[in-house]
Amino acid sequence: MSGPMRGRLVDLSLGLNRKYRITVEVDRDFREDFDRLKDAELDVEIKKHREKRSKSANAYFHVLVNRIAAVRGGSDDAVKKSLVVEYGALEKDADGKTVGFKLPASVDVDKIYPYVRCFDTREENGKQFRCYLVYKHTSDMDSAEMARLIDGAIEEARELGIETDTPEQLARYKEEWSRA
């Protein structure tokens, strides 16, 4: 069985056993998988489909990162990190809860994960800890999350006097990205 499939919910009914039955229409031939799985206990997750961000959207974001770094000074990685943490999407677990962690204050978080924001410092048993929120890598963002990140990068670029594409060009890009 391959990864997630796209489909549509078609029907919901209550069976004689008082359990709900969901009818799902999928976009590929599922007969073989159905035969193999039909009597097995399954883990089921149904969530709204979101398009992954396109390669061209990612490329445009990196052009903006490069231009901002050239004006601000510093590395592309540092600019990318600041943009992802400012405008990116928080990482969520399987239950939709925001992902975070805490580390001793003496640990350099950048050696563990690049896209985090410290939201609290705590003392426990006489030792200092920093608490962090985790943001998604750009490669894991969907098209809506990537569009928000690019909009933030455009805003920052314009504040620095950096030339960006016209609103018409950007609208055309976004339409292409959402179809990709």
Are 155 and 164 contacting, i.e. CB atoms less than 8 angstroms apart? no
- Per-residue model confidence (pLDDT) at position 166: 63
User: Tens digit of pLDDT per residue, the chain (180 long)?
Assistant: 456 777 888 888 888 899 888 888 888 888 888 888 888 888 887 777 666 656 778 888 999 999 999 999 999 999 999 999 999 999 999 888 999 999 999 999 999 999 999 999 999 999 999 999 999 999 889 888 998 999 999 999 999 999 887 667 767 776 776 665
- Per-residue model confidence (pLDDT) at position 3: 65
Are 24 and 9 contacting, i.e. CB atoms less than 8 angstroms apart? yes
- Per-residue model confidence (pLDDT) at position 79: 97
Run of H or E residues at 20: strand 20-26
pTM, 2 dp: 0.67
- CA-based max dimension of the chain: 67
What amino acid occupies position 166? T
- Per-residue model confidence (pLDDT) at position 161: 93
Domain borders along the chain are 1-49
The torsion defined by the Cα of 119, 115, 142 and 47, in degrees rounded to 10, comes to -50
